[in-house]
Amino acid sequence: MGCSCLILGVGMVKLTMIYRGLVTAAFLVMSAGFAFAKPTILATFSILEDLIKKIVGDSMDVKALVPRMKDPHTYELRASDMIAIKEADLIIAYAPPFEGWLAQALEHYPGKLTFVAEKHPFRKLDDGSIDPHTWHDISMILTVVDELTRILCKRDPCHKEIFQNRAEIFKDKLHALDKTLKELFDSLPRPKRVVLTTHDAFWYFGKAYGITFLSPVGITTAEEPSAGTVAGIIHQIRHSNVGAIFIETLSNGAIVEKIASEVGQKVDGTLFADSLSEDDLANTYLKMVAFNAYTIHKALIQRQQKN
């Protein structure tokens, strides 16, 4: 992909009127060709897909491998995914600890894959595993937007200025939401900001906004909580100030419902952890973060008013 549009423009200046009709016709054919040959970018999951679209608009064909409302922790590639991987010009993934299912599929396509969050300061757990959910911290996503902009501008230098402008506009929106949410949670006393969710996906969100998250399931939804873990959480809830209890759209909520019933509380709602929604409730990154934050805040306020 080069700047053929500019070359064509310079060439046209030198042509006489006689040839202009022919050149115009050729231009139309070439334009149709360029439109047809949009670069295909394959994001691993819906959050990345949305971030890429915010930067490139409709100048590239952007798709996600893992469909919305499917679990990216435990995803298994389908035959159609293998075709999409083969045909993609570029595959953009988050970080090696997250998309483990991708490595084998890409063995035959060296150079197609790029990661955009691998330099994040990931939280390491006692068992040596890495918590990949940094997308719940807007400050981390700002670095992802910068990295995506760099990669996409390199891929399509003709659109560099447009991509950079779109990225700056999007980053302004991210900064504004982050500021709003910091003020929102700052209005709640810190000890009241304790929340239970199904799997350990919100540690970075909690770090950003001063919220303690408890969860019976670990950092990947593939894990099953042990009886000891569940008992420990029930004990913690009974002896602390858990202000709200949530299940997640992609996780089995049965264990959280059991814990809620055990401690005599109700489940306050559902959060989006690892996928954007299909409907317009949380179908963009900004909407997902805002939805989770306002849902948590509303439940914490209601619990505070009851106590």
Q: Encode the chain in three state secondary structure.
A: CCCHHHHHHHHHHHCCHHHHHHHHHHHHHHHHHHHHCCCEEEECCHHHHHHHHHHHCCCCEEEECCCCCCCCCCCCCCHHHHHHHHHCCEEEECCCCCCHHHCHHHCCCCCCEEECCCCCCCEECCCCCEECCHHHCHHHHHHHHHHHHHHHHHHCHHHHHHHHHHHHHHHHHHHHHHHHHHHHHHCCCHHHCEEECCECCCHHHHHHHCCEEECCECCCCCCCCCHHHHHHHHHHHHCCCCCEEEEECCCCCHHHHHHHHHCCCCCCEEECCCCCCCCCCCCCHHHHHHHHHHHHHHHHHHHHHHC
Q: Which two tokens stand for residue 67?
A: 């469909």
Q: Which is nearer to Zn ion, 61 or 223 (CB)?
A: 223
Q: How far is the CB of 248 from Zn ion (least distance, A)?
A: 8
Site for Zn ion in 20-49 (CB under 5 A): none
Q: How far is the CB of 275 from Zn ion (least distance, A)?
A: 9
Sequence-distant (≥ 6) Cβ neighbours of residue 108 within 8 angstroms: none
Binding pattern to Zn ion, positions 265-284, x when CB under 5 A?
--------xx----------
Q: How far is the CB of 152 from Zn ion (least distance, A)?
A: 26
Q: Which is nearer to Zn ion, 151 or 208 (CB)?
A: 208
Q: How far is the CB of 217 from Zn ion (least distance, A)?
A: 9
Count of residues near Zn ion by CB under 5 A: 3
Is position 85 an interface residue for Zn ion (rule: CB under 5 A)?
Answer: no
Q: How far is the CB of 52 from Zn ion (least distance, A)?
A: 20
Q: How far is the CB of 160 from Zn ion (least distance, A)?
A: 34
Q: How far is the CB of 166 from Zn ion (least distance, A)?
A: 28
Binding pattern to Zn ion, positions 216-255, x when CB under 5 A?
----------------------------------------
Order of strands, sheet of 113-115, starting from the edge strand that comes earlier in the sequence: 61-64, 40-43, 90-93, 113-115
Q: Which is nearer to Zn ion, 48 or 273 (CB)?
A: 273
Contact 125, 131 (CB under 8 A): yes
Q: Which is nearer to Zn ion, 152 or 250 (CB)?
A: 250
Site for Zn ion in 182-221 (CB under 5 A): 201
Q: How far is the CB of 281 from Zn ion (least distance, A)?
A: 19
Q: Which is nearer to Zn ion, 132 or 243 (CB)?
A: 132
Contact 114, 91 (CB under 8 A): yes
Q: Which is nearer to Zn ion, 65 or 188 (CB)?
A: 65
Q: Which is nearer to Zn ion, 43 or 201 (CB)?
A: 201
Q: Which residues pair with 110 in a beta bridge?
A: none
The residues that touch Zn ion, with contacts defined as CB under 5 A, are 201, 273-274
